Chains A and B, each alone.
Chain A
Amino acid sequence: ETGVTQTPRHLVMGMTNKKSLKCEQHLGHNAMYWYKQSAKKPLELMFVYSLEERVENNSVPSRFSPECPNSSHLFLHLHTLQPEDSALYLCASSQGGATYNEQFFGPGTRLTVL
């Protein structure tokens, strides 16, 4: 295990539902990330938090709302999603402050939007 956990591992939701994805890192890192992984496409960086402040938001639709209450926890709140939002959502963490530090990934949440 990488020290980054994600729950739930699988999620099926309707377009009108509201759900949240949770990520927790046990590595003492101070930067956390959300990525979207779709088949045969590059990973898409969605959000970056450094020292609990959002520093990157790559034009992600407002139906995705991140929350970082502390340096160990990261949430992705979902509401009124579309079927094209179905993907694997990966959380990662790194020791921030140096952009050459590698990221450590969780196992992901497989999201299916009906």
Chain B
Amino acid sequence: AQSVAQPEDQVNVAEGNPLTVKCTYSVSGNPYLFWYVQYPNRGLQFLLKYITGDNLVKGSYGFEAEFNKSQTSFHLKKPSALVSDSALYFCAVRDGRNNDMRFGAGTRLTVKP
């Protein structure tokens, strides 16, 4: 079965600095990879996904993620963080052969002014 690891519970960055939220995955077949964000008292919102093709994926709100097959990673990045980016971020992986989406435990991003 597929699995996802988000090695950092918490990431703190200063506003205007670049941010990275890490994600590694394990899957038998071809991976479909996703990033979601959750603001307080809200459900998860889709940010971006990797299916195939270009390893650098661009998504909503200026976020991007790089698929690295050799390192089985899919780190989320943004060149310049905003205070409003502070939220809980979830990485997820889906094996192309089934309906099971596996989520990581989440990383809380705090952007300080």
Q: Taking the nearest CB of chain A, how far is it from the CB of B11, in angstroms?
A: 15
Expressed in whole angstroms, the minimum distance between the Cβ of B112 and any Cβ of chain A is 22
* Given contact pairs A48-B99, A55-B99, A107-B42, A41 touches B49 in the complex (Cβ within 8 A): no
Partner of B100 from the list A41, A45, A106 (CB cut-off 8 Å) is A45
Whole-angstrom CA separation of A108 from B43 in the bound complex = 6
We find that the number of chain A residues with CB closer than 8 angstroms to chain B is 26
Asked if A90 meets B104 with Cβ closer than 8 Å, knowing A56-B99, A99-B96, A102-B34, the reply is no
Partner of A103, one of B41, B46, B105: B46
Residue of A42, A56, A104 touching B4 (CB-CB under 8 A):
A42
Question: How many A-B contacts are there with CB distance less than 8 Å?
Answer: 61
CA distance A50 to B51 in the complex (A): 21
The minimal Cβ–Cβ distance linking A27 to chain B, given in whole angstroms, is 12
Total contacting residues, chain B, CB less than 8 A: 27
Contacting pair B49 A100 (CB below 8 A): yes
The answer to whether B90 and A43 touch across the interface, beta carbons within 8 angstroms, is yes
B14 on the interface (CB 8 Å rule)?
no
Kindly state whether residue A21 has any CB partner on chain B within 8 Å: no
Q: Does B98 sit within 8 A of A, measured CB to CB? A: yes
Task: Provide the bound-state CA to CA distance between A42 and B4, in Å.
Answer: 9
Told that A6-B43, A103-B46 touch, could you supply 9 new A-B pairs with CB distance under 8 A? A4-B43, A40-B106, A41-B105, A43-B103, A92-B44, A99-B97, A99-B98, A103-B44, A105-B36
